[in-house]
A and B are shown apart, each in its own frame.
Chain A
Amino acid sequence: MTDDELIWRISGGSGDGIASTSQNFAKALMRSGLNVFTHRHYPSRIRGGHTYTEVRASAGPVESRGDGYNFLLALGDSFARNPQEEAVYGNEEIKPLSENLDELREGGVIVYDEGLLDASEIPNFEERAEENDWHVYPLDLRGLARDMGREVMRNTAGVGATCALTGMELDHVEDLMRDAMPEKILDPNLEILETAYEQVQEEYDVDAPDVSVPTGEHDETQLLMSGSDAIAYGAIDEGCRFISGYPMTPWTEVFTIMSQNLPKLDGISEQVEDEIAAAALAVGASHAGVKAMSGSSGGGFALMSEPLGLAEMTETPVVLVEAMRAGPSTGMPTKPEQSDLEHVLYTSQGDSQRVVLAPGTVEEAYEQSRLAFRLAYEYQIPTILLYDQKLGGELKNVPKDHFDREPNPTLGKTLSEDALSEQPHSGDGKFHRFQHDVDDGVSPRSIPGQKGGRFLATGNEHDPTGHISESPENRVAQIDRRAEKLAAIREDLDTEDTGSYAGPEDAEYGILTFGSQQGTVEEAVGRLNDAGVSVKSYGVSDMLPFPTEQVEAFVESVDEVLVVEMTASGQFRGLVQKNLGRYGERLSSLLKYNGNPFEPAEVVDGFEAAIIEGDSDASDHQTTFVPAAGD
């Protein structure tokens, strides 16, 4: 779209080191002073299968993957299946090149490994290249790597060629390789990087690059971080020292980061038999006085419904993270979607009593992970951090200072033994853990082992001591008190300002979104504003309790609102309407559910076609428009 950015796509096969190569390259660009943002696309397969990562770099802010890309480095797929044509894989060998052409921008660059890829297998390749003004560089990267020792080094050779063709200095890449690579492979890799760089420089005229790396500068130290990193660090800074889980993509990332770091903090990580146990362990650890979390993705979270309800009824603080992927059932394990929204809001029997937060960016993931723990422990309520494969896996640079904050290990309204002795007890010494009339509905708790704190936690309805009770008066008092907590949390959240706004306040139109699509929507709003369209956006994070007042004010202030979300059924729009109770005629939807996140251009085009031109068919993207009620 713009000339001042590089969107570099490295493609190849799963298991060929595409992710680590792209991560190092992104970090090199960050260290050179640029803002970076990555996007991963990979199959649910360990070895082989088309995969790519995009690295977007610009001197200006980047909050999304961008539109298409302008530099392709197509490597081979070492594990490609290449069977007869009718097989489901198709010809995998050529895919790193053939699958990536549709999204390459006009004037873009193609570097492909001619040692493994034969462009003549792609119909009309040359004509397409000419038509689109693509600059094509076939290089025998595999041959070079083979000559220099190890075939896997073709990734490094490709990075060297990229640097030569974009006018990027090698020093940052070299520094990173020194940081990341074990000594025994470092020297040959440095050598091949330089050789590839020099060979390309010699062979081609690179003084005026077709696509060049922009230059920029950072005022402060930057970190390259994913949403999963941010969630884990937020938990650690809030004093979480216990995690229990069961592996499932994409939640495994948070579980892994916590499991690697908790032993260094004298904490405990438990990998257990299933997700029912995982959530139940977190509840048990929290009951015994530790700040605890668990989590999963859709299918595993379904198993957590029971312990989630138990935490609600026993008012045990706990944080559960839910990393959404495309469903239903096993769905598409490595593809993002936001369609577990209703699942986490409503799963488990009875009237739900929980908090659900959906951060929109890496920075928000850190802040809201901390917020989730604070709310869970202050209000004794399970809190769910809802994110997705996109936010969890994308890397972005964030200033290090963003994380320079005090830790908060406090347990909330938990009593010391001295304080316990002042609290109401029954004649037999039982502590009134669940008192009816208390501030904000939060009755202070005790921890097993404390003298004078004895009580029963139970999933049954219970009286103030925790004893099982079916008295109608007690039932109403307890339900009402627990509901009061949510009202208090809503007031608390109003001071936290978790929403994200973009565009002019007095705009004519609005776009509403939630969670991970926020950055993409904000970029689209910027472009629409530049094109003279009067539109603003609101990225909502608080799913429960819902910021009804704020969303209503936003909807009220514009003529029409487009709700952008990665679901097929418009779940977020449904949530908005449920809470607002009206404005159905003002809310339409732009949906995407093909397994890939929105690109800014899809939001721009979808908005212009449906809202401005009133012709939703005018957009040729893989998005779906659903009109407002009555239209």
Chain B
Amino acid sequence: MSTFSAIGEEREIDRDEYTPGVEPQPTWCPGCGDFSVLKALKQALPEVGRTPEETLLCTGIGCSGKLNSYLDTYGFHTIHGRSLPVARAAKLANPDLEVIAAGGDGDGYGIGGNHFIHTARENHDMTYIVFNNEIFGLTKGQTSPTSPKGHKSKTQPSGSAKEPIKPLSMSLNAGASYVARTAAVNPNQAKEIITEAIEHDGFAHVDFLTQCPTWNKDARQYVPYIDVNDSDDYEFDKTDRVEAAEMMRETEESLYEGEVLTGRFYVDEERPSYGQEKQTIGEMPEEPLAERYWDDDYEWERSHDMFLDKHA
């Protein structure tokens, strides 16, 4: 039996395999957009042929972080804002794992914003799903980094004086090689985009609009939505940075004017992933590092033989 025999296993995968016995029904509120992320993942993973035991899902804290309790894979429910550094190290340690990170808009664009920028910059081969509901849900409805200007909440009683974060533009500028937005109300597109994101060899960022019926009642349910890749009203080349940037800007502005634009905004299939870049400069092993600890024939190097003579 090999060390990690779940990896690369070829077999039919049943969607139900991802449903944990202990908590088969999520405890999200009725009508919550988060259900759609779970559903899209349960559809996408069998389609790309990744079993629960070759997948590592890393989440942050918040309603979105509960995804780990409802999707039965190897999981790491980390701390608020820190899913990305944990996830990208796991990918470096064992590039054969399918690594997916997920969190809310406060988690990813607020407290974890620094990690978001740098993970995108480095283009790690992983998927990052941001549950964007424009609000803090689990702490009961405070204004978040994506809440529109003027948004009133218990912590912003006079309405937010801040412009919201522009997550798609930020992602593109930081260096993500796949940037998309989908919405909970559009399950077919969500499944397709999540599938593409998992298959993409690089940092795939999906801004997932997940309506919060409990704390963000005033917000739209993100309908009607328009797929910018299908609509004749929008013409742009998603492989062109300049055109993608323009389309993103329009999308981010129009969301607050009641128009929900979704789709793939930027796709760069050429850019090498971070692991490949590190291998090119000789700072990343060809074989997964995690395998070495199980290789009985590996001769572990000693400082005594390799590094000490220069001190003599």
Contacts and interface: CB of A to CB of B under 8 A. Distances in A.
Interface of A: 221-225, 229, 232-233, 236-237, 239, 241-242, 244, 261-270, 272-274, 276-278, 280-285, 287-292, 306-307, 309-310, 314, 400, 403-407, 409-411, 416-418, 426-428, 430, 447-460, 465-468
B115 A273 contact: yes
B292 A241 contact: yes
A459 B79 contact: yes
Which range holds the interface residue count of chain B?
35 or more
B88 A284 contact: yes
Interface string B74-89: 1111110010111111
Given A242-B93, A449-B4, A229 B311 contact: yes
A451 B6 contact: yes
6 contacts: A272-B118, A277-B85, A281-B88, A290-B289, A291-B293, A314-B76
Given A221-B312, A288-B90, A310-B79, A236 B301 contact: yes
A314 B21 CA distance: 21
Contact of A261 (B76, B94, B307): B307
Interface string B289-300: 110111000101
B212 interface: no
Given A291-B293, A405-B304, A409-B293, A266 B285 contact: yes
Contact of A284 (B9, B53, B86, B294): B86
Given A284-B88, A291-B293, A404 B304 contact: yes
A314 B76 CA distance: 9
Contacts, number: 231
Contacts of A272: 85, 118
A426 B72 CA distance: 12
Contacts of A468: 69, 77
Nearest to B300: A407
Contact of B97 (A239, A403, A411, A448): A448
B46 to A, nearest CB: 16
Nearest to A279: B85
Interface string B269-297: 00000000010001111000110111000
Given A416-B294, A452-B53, 15 more contacts: A224-B311, A237-B303, A239-B293, A272-B118, A276-B85, A291-B293, A400-B312, A403-B303, A409-B293, A411-B293, A449-B4, A449-B7, A453-B53, A458-B76, A467-B22
Contacts of B61: 459
Contacts of B292: 241, 266, 409
Interface of B: 1-7, 9, 20-23, 52-54, 56, 58, 61, 68-69, 72-79, 82, 84-94, 96-97, 114-115, 117-118, 278, 282-285, 289-290, 292-294, 298, 300-304, 306-308, 311-312
A466 B75 contact: yes
Contacts of B282: 263
A236 B300 CA distance: 9
Given A281-B86, A403-B304, A451-B53, A426 B22 contact: yes
Contacts of B86: 280-281, 283-284, 287
A426 B85 CA distance: 30
Contact of B289 (A222, A264, A267, A458): A267
A3 to B, nearest CB: 29
Given A239-B300, A272-B118, A453-B53, A280 B1 contact: no
A518 B158 CA distance: 60
A452 B2 CA distance: 13
B89 A450 contact: no
**Among B1, B75, B115, B304: residue with most chain A CB under 10 A:** B304
A416 B3 contact: yes
Contacts of A449: 3-4, 6-7, 53-54, 74, 94, 96-97, 290
